[in-house]
Amino acid sequence: MPNPERITIYYFTGTGNSAKVAEWFARVAECREIPSQSINIGKMDRLHIGKPANDALIIFVSPIHGFNYPPAMLHFIMRFPKGSNRIVLMNTRAGMKIGNFVTPGLTGIAFLLSGMILKLKGYHIQGMAPIDLPSNWLSLHPALNKPTVSWIHKKNKKRVCLLAEELLNGKRSFKNWYENIWDIPFAPVAILYYLFGRFLFAKTFYPSGACDNCGVCIEQCPVKAIKSVNNRPFWTYNCESCMHCMSQCPKKAIHTGHGYVAAILAFSSIIVWNLILDPVFDLEFILGPVAGFLLKTGVFFLILTLGYRLVHSLLPYKFVRILVECTSLTKYKFWGNRYKALKDSDFE
């Protein structure tokens, strides 16, 4: 393949991992005097996408959410204009450290689905590359310590730069294609996450008593999923759990409500499903297992919506606020600090 005349990088980022990959790639292109453009799709009009230059190598970089690209990037690719450019698909996955190895995350169906969509639009896939930068999902696990984060950054910067040299020399890169063997079985989980799971996580965030209503989270949300309700941030179902708000809050006032979400789940499953819907109506017998499951899921999300709004409205009351905060793991020091991708000067 001929070397590209220019590169255009489209990235979606919450805590900076994908932006860091875009920066490293663009820097290699700059050293080779290849014009490059990096575009944060969280700051652009994703409904009206301009067609890139015909001679550009196009790169998509995004984190993995629920074993797929998040809807912001997935829908962006679906709306992307038709063309014949060469494409490189990249992602940032939940990297961890064991000994001297970065443990790989899971790509799921992100490359397969997006690659198929782009192929149907006429594009040519030149490479697919997962990059295992540190996991930022503090809702599910404690933060990695700074030495681990620095080490993972250093390892991956070298990997991205070598990959960029390879791709800019016109070579293909599908070194991790074998990973699809264990990625494909996660397709059902990815579909369920897209249809249901992401909406559950959207209602786990809340502002603690430290919130001064500065509006940073609302203004900077890349998918405009946060609004002000009763002078406090309120997370809508548009939230993609990118963790940008939690990592950027000046007061570290945004937490994950593990306690109240567990309470809503318990109320839905034990009280509503097991004691009311199943014994009284026997939905699965009347409607069949699939329709019964969908109806129960709809009831659950109704309860979640009402429960979240109720908790949000009661947060000004000290007893409720203390109860919610004390049952949120992200409040405690042992859970670790908020994650942000490091500057190169912080780990070199």
Contact 40, 91 (CB under 8 A): no
Per-residue confidence (pLDDT) for residue 286, from 0 to 100 = 59
Residue type (1 letter), 180: N
Question: What ranges do the domains of the chain cover?
Answer: 6-186, 203-335
Pure H helices in 221-274: 244-248, 258-266
Per-residue confidence (pLDDT) for residue 271, from 0 to 100 = 64
Contact 209, 266 (CB under 8 A): no
Exposed/middle/buried for 131, CB within 10 Å: 0-12, 13-18, 19+? Answer: buried
pLDDT averaged per 10 residues in sequence order, the chain, 348 residues: 88 96 97 95 93 94 95 97 96 86 87 96 96 92 92 94 94 78 85 92 94 95 95 95 95 95 82 58 60 75 91 94 95 92 89
Contact 222, 194 (CB under 8 A): no
Q: Considering only the top CATH level, what class is 203-335?
A: alpha beta
Q: Which fold has domain 6-186?
A: Rossmann fold (3.40.50)
With a CB cutoff of 8 Å and minimum separation 6, the contacts of 223 are 42, 72, 238, 239, 240, 242
- What tokens appear for 234 in the block? 């309120």
Q: How far is CA 20 from the centre of its chain?
A: 15
